[in-house]
Copies of this chain bind each other. A is one copy, B any other.
Amino acid sequence: MAVPMSPKQKVYQEILQEIRKFIDHHDLKPGDKLPSERELADRLQAGRSSIREALRAMELLGLIETKHGEGTFISTYRPYQTVEILSSFILQGNGTKKDLLISKRIIEKECAKLAYKQLTEDDLQKMENLLTDSKMSDTERHTAFFTHLAVKTDNLLMQRIWQLMDEFSVTMPEQKLVDSFYVELVDIYKRNVYMEIENLFEKYTCS
């Protein structure tokens, strides 16, 4: 053969890369419109079916939204579909569940630490209000609590990682911690004792 060719990556995977580049290059944000399937096919020198395979996959992952007769749009990342599909296929995860739980706790701990410096009095107040909000279930409260924390990390990547793990863990029990945990964490923030965050998680995690 003459040309070794770039790795035998499938076309639709290259398309994924290209679309990512396109979004980056044009600085598209959630809500913005992508070129039409036909135009993408023309631009990327690929068949429309290949384009569609890539788009469907992205849609399933919640990265884009598609509106019949209108077009394809960047969506605010919501992996709800992903979670649903996955959980409908995986009834009983084996070692995956354990890994996920451990990893999630780790991320939560580090988010709590990263957020430490950024938290204001107002944040603390909001978080305390959350803890006494009786309209939420324990699970919802946990999610709301750490969502607030994750946002305050000032680290988008950590925030996204936590978000992703939280979405994936909805099907599992034991996501939340004992009530006293949250109270103690807020207390640590108030007392300004950074070093105790690590200990707090150690105490409540290794049960």
Contact = CB atoms under 8 A, between A and B. Distances in A.
Contacts of A96: 77, 79, 156-157
A45 interface: no
Interface in A174-207: 198
A77 B168 CA distance: 14
B77 A61 contact: no
A91 interface: yes
Contact of A82 (B54, B82, B95, B103): B82
A206 to B, nearest CB: 12
Interface residues of A, number: 46
Contacts of A100: 157
Interface in A86-120: 86, 88-93, 95-96, 99-100, 102-103, 106, 110, 114
Nearest to A64: B89
Indicate how many identical chains form the complex. Answer: 2
Nearest to A53: B56
Interface stretch (A31-39, A122-130, A136-144, A158-166): A158-166
A23 interface: yes
21 contacts: A17-B88, A20-B92, A49-B49, A52-B53, A54-B56, A56-B56, A61-B82, A61-B85, A61-B86, A77-B86, A77-B89, A77-B93, A79-B86, A82-B82, A86-B164, A90-B157, A91-B157, A93-B156, A96-B156, A100-B157, A102-B114
